[in-house]
Chain A
């Protein structure tokens, strides 16, 4: 439970030399300030993308056309995905990385602070451009976030805006990833060996390598779309000797590792939270590291499971089916180790632990439906139905988003020096968990019954479960409003906490005052401190 005792007075602010006013943010080079900006940006995008989801679920509440025309509906599905993936989840992870990696490895800041500033400030421009495409003739991109040609080439004025914004997001991610790799490889305190690093740092290191490897592939793919549209090339046009299926191969060579970019840091957070609230070291630390690395490796050789129905040789289908199923092995190792960590532990259920436990159960449901989708003959039935929508939302909402929530609730007392309202956080957890299941579980039934995805209207037999799903969506959306409220309250008037906000917490970040000094570790932590933190 939280240690609310006021820590011994610390005068770290006297060495801050931090700029004030708008300069502090626009010229920010401090890892905590940039982390905060990433997190605020991600939260804003979460609500913008969430509002788009509300439009989608409102239209699907009952059959027939109610509120939006089909073009706007398709724009909403496309923009919801782009905003949530590139604007909410990825920046939230980068924000958490910025806040935590220097503190966890014993460094004063990130290795490349100006690059850090640049990586962040690209994002508001990218998303202003993308979101402003809602107001151009022809409307926002509406061909799905996967941007398959030839459909995407039919977009109007929004098409180049989409391509340019994707380039900017990619550049931001790559620069952020370089910063993470360089920080972890060079800025670790003496004694912080690779196998003493916290799991969150490990998962981010592997995620950063994935980002550097696959974001350029996306850039290449969208550049080919651009030249097909404006410069007379025919990469993806059959009439000119091109092949639209080639785009799908290139896109998913990026797209599948991207799924792991979204989820691996959540594995890291859960691996921090569960030991803390089980009051036991993580079970099988090294196995966890190797499992994450294996998952990352396998993510490069499974991409075509997203496109089994395009017509590929049987041998290719078999290869991609079996390689996909292989991912269940390291994932199983992780789920087993998290469970074994709790075994005979002295468990308590504070908000971060609740979110981590919900992650464990609900992400596993997403994993199992993924295994179902990996079976080629079964996939012919599920392809492009709501079953797929249910599957990836289980992976990304109670998976990635709950991982972010667990991380924020875990480290918020460290960042602010204040404890949040635990009762309100518990309400946030229970409402989110109940409604996320009401929202997404019925979509499995809709998909199995044959309801296609990305349609604004549907046959009447799908009405009941769509109504249930929409009610779940409204409940989930409303309950998220508690989150910024709770953070605001925490910053303004939360009870003071000591260095170690959670009694069972281990790791270098808990050796620093709460809130930590402007430059995290100005003196490298001692080996004894590092050894105490790395008690896995």
Chain B
């Protein structure tokens, strides 16, 4: 099965981590901005 290919697994993992990092930075970034601005 294609998923058992180790290079593909690594590519999928890297890609997933990259997009998770982008989304998390956006998501928590907006919320953090909110809290920092709000506490001034």
- Residues of chain B within 8 A of A217, CB atoms compared: 26, 30
- Cβ contacts B3-14/A at 8 Å (1 or 0 each): 100001001100
**A522 → chain B, closest Cβ, in Å?**
5
- Cβ contacts A163-176/B at 8 Å (1 or 0 each): 00000001100100
Give Cα distance in the complex from A235 to B35, angstroms: 11
Q: Are B34 and A212 in contact (CB under 8 A)?
A: no
How would you classify the secondary structure of chain A's contact residues: helix, strand, loop or mixed?
helix
Give Cα distance in the complex from A111 to B31, angstroms: 28
Q: Which among B1, B15, B19, B31 is the interface contact of A223 at CB below 8 angstroms?
A: B31
Give Cα distance in the complex from A220 to B32, angstroms: 9
Give Cα distance in the complex from A178 to B15, angstroms: 9
Q: Is A233 part of the binding interface, using a Cβ–Cβ cutoff of 8 Å?
A: yes
Q: Are A178 and B34 in contact (CB under 8 A)?
A: no
A109-B3, A174-B27, A212-B26 known; A181 vs B19 contact (CB < 8 Å): yes
Give Cα distance in the complex from A178 to B20, angstroms: 7
Q: Is A534 part of the binding interface, using a Cβ–Cβ cutoff of 8 Å?
A: no
**B10 → chain A, closest Cβ, in Å?**
10
Q: Report the interface size class on chain B.
A: 20 to 34
CB nearest neighbor in A for B18: A182
A233-B38, A235-B38 known; A219 vs B30 contact (CB < 8 Å): yes
Q: Is A407 part of the binding interface, using a Cβ–Cβ cutoff of 8 Å?
A: no
Give Cα distance in the complex from A107 to B12, angstroms: 13
- Cβ contacts B21-40/A at 8 Å (1 or 0 each): 01100110111011101110
- Residues of chain A within 8 A of B26, CB atoms compared: 212-213, 216-217
Q: Is A112 part of the binding interface, using a Cβ–Cβ cutoff of 8 Å?
A: yes
Q: Is A524 part of the binding interface, using a Cβ–Cβ cutoff of 8 Å?
A: yes
A178-B20, A223-B31, A235-B38 known; A524 vs B2 contact (CB < 8 Å): yes
Using a CB-CB cutoff of 8 Å, which residues 302-327 of chain A contact chain B? none
A108-B2, A216-B27, A235-B38 known; A178 vs B12 contact (CB < 8 Å): no
Q: Which among A171, A185, A212, A231 is the interface contact of B15 at CB below 8 angstroms?
A: A185
Give Cα distance in the complex from A522 to B3, angstroms: 9
A174-B23, A213-B26 known; A187 vs B31 contact (CB < 8 Å): no
- In this complex, the member of A112, A115, A216 whose beta carbon has the largest number of chain B beta carbons within 10 angstroms is A216
Q: Is A526 part of the binding interface, using a Cβ–Cβ cutoff of 8 Å?
A: no
- Residues of chain B within 8 A of A235, CB atoms compared: 34, 37-38
Give Cα distance in the complex from A519 to B2, angstroms: 11
Give Cα distance in the complex from A174 to B23, angstroms: 7
CB nearest neighbor in A for B27: A216
Q: Are A227 and B12 in contact (CB under 8 A)?
A: no
Q: Is A14 part of the binding interface, using a Cβ–Cβ cutoff of 8 Å?
A: no
Give Cα distance in the complex from A178 to B22, angstroms: 10
A186-B11, A231-B38 known; A178 vs B23 contact (CB < 8 Å): yes
Q: Is A224 part of the binding interface, using a Cβ–Cβ cutoff of 8 Å?
A: yes
- Residues of chain B within 8 A of A524, CB atoms compared: 2
**B27 → chain A, closest Cβ, in Å?**
4
**A30 → chain B, closest Cβ, in Å?**
12
CB nearest neighbor in B for A111: B12
A185-B15, A212-B23 known; A220 vs B34 contact (CB < 8 Å): yes
Q: Are A186 and B12 in contact (CB under 8 A)?
A: yes
- Residues of chain A within 8 A of B2, CB atoms compared: 107-108, 187, 189, 521-522, 524
Q: Which among A108, A171, A220 is the interface contact of B1 at CB below 8 angstroms?
A: A108
A187-B2, A212-B23, A522-B1 known; A223 vs B30 contact (CB < 8 Å): yes
- Residues of chain B within 8 A of A216, CB atoms compared: 23, 26-27, 29-30
Which chain B residues have a beta carbon within 8 Å of chain A's beta carbons? 1-3, 8, 11-12, 15-16, 19-20, 22-23, 26-27, 29-31, 33-35, 37-39
Which chain A residues have a beta carbon within 8 Å of chain B's beta carbons? 107-109, 111-112, 115, 170-171, 174, 177-178, 181-182, 185-187, 189, 212-213, 215-217, 219-220, 223-224, 227, 231, 233, 235, 519, 521-522, 524
